Structure 1
Amino acid sequence: MTEPERTPDGHHVLIKGRRWRATDPAVPADAADRLRHHLMAARRAVGAALRAGDEAAERAARARVHAAKTALGERGQPPWWEQDEAQRRERWTAGLARLDAEEGGEEA
């Protein structure tokens, strides 16, 4: 799979003519892979909850989607390019810890 086109500043990717915030390039590859795993699992859970008509499960799954995208730097304020290195590291490490704990059935 090829990488999507990026804006000249590298802050956004262009997909089907639409601009989306890019993943923070400071997130290490192994952490980014784990976060994407959580993101895709949460997206599958959203679909399952919608099919089942389970609003509580849908809300919980959408919260996990948001947590993964925020940890990746694709959501949240300030954007990753306005954060210093320590803030960026804290964002993705805290998000990954939360998602790992939720996956293990623990409270984050």
Structure 2
Amino acid sequence: MVDEPQEDDHFFVVNGRRWRRTDPGLPEDVAAALRSHLGSARATVGAASRRGDEEAVAAARVRVGIAKHGLGERGPKWWDEPLEARIERAREALGELDA
């Protein structure tokens, strides 16, 4: 018997796969800007993949990773860190993406 992943405050489940939730403690303006960068980077991954431009795919995937780290969806578990550290990480990621 296989246990199905369960939703909770830290994760959500789509088609049986568990995904980490965005850090709910982030200021909305910072989270919205990171989500915008994430969407743009994902679109760039798709477009570059269709063109066969592996260098552009790799660069866009780096941007996806930065945005997801900033949102708390990758990297250290946001629920194990102080809020100030989480906000600082998000702001640093946003600064890197805005540069």
Shorter-chain TM-score above 0.5: yes
Match of residue 46 from structure 1: 45
Judge conservation of contact 2:27–2:87 (CA < 8 Å) in 1. Answer: no
Of 87, 91, 94, the residue aligned with 2:92 is: 94
Q: Identity of paired residues, percent?
A: 52
SS of match in other structure, 2:73: coil
Unaligned runs of 5+ in 1: 102-108
User: How many correspondences in the alignment?
Assistant: 94
Partner deviation per Cα, 1:41-82 (whole Å, 9 max, x = no partner): 000100111111111101000000010011000001x21011
Deviation, structure 1 residue 6: 4.0
Highest RCO, 1 vs 2 (Cα 8 Å, sep ≥ 6): 2
Deviation, structure 1 residue 38: 0.3
Distance 1:18 1:55 in 2: 27
Unaligned runs of 5+ in 2: 1-5
Counterpart amino acid of residue 48 in structure 1: A
Judge conservation of contact 2:34–2:70 (CA < 8 Å) in 1. Answer: yes
How well do the aligned residues superpose, as a CA RMSD in angstroms?
A: 1.3
Matches within 5 A, 1:4-83: 6-7=7-8, 10-76=9-75, 78-83=76-81
Partner deviation per Cα, 1:10-58 (whole Å, 9 max, x = no partner): 1111222321101001111111111111000000100111111111101
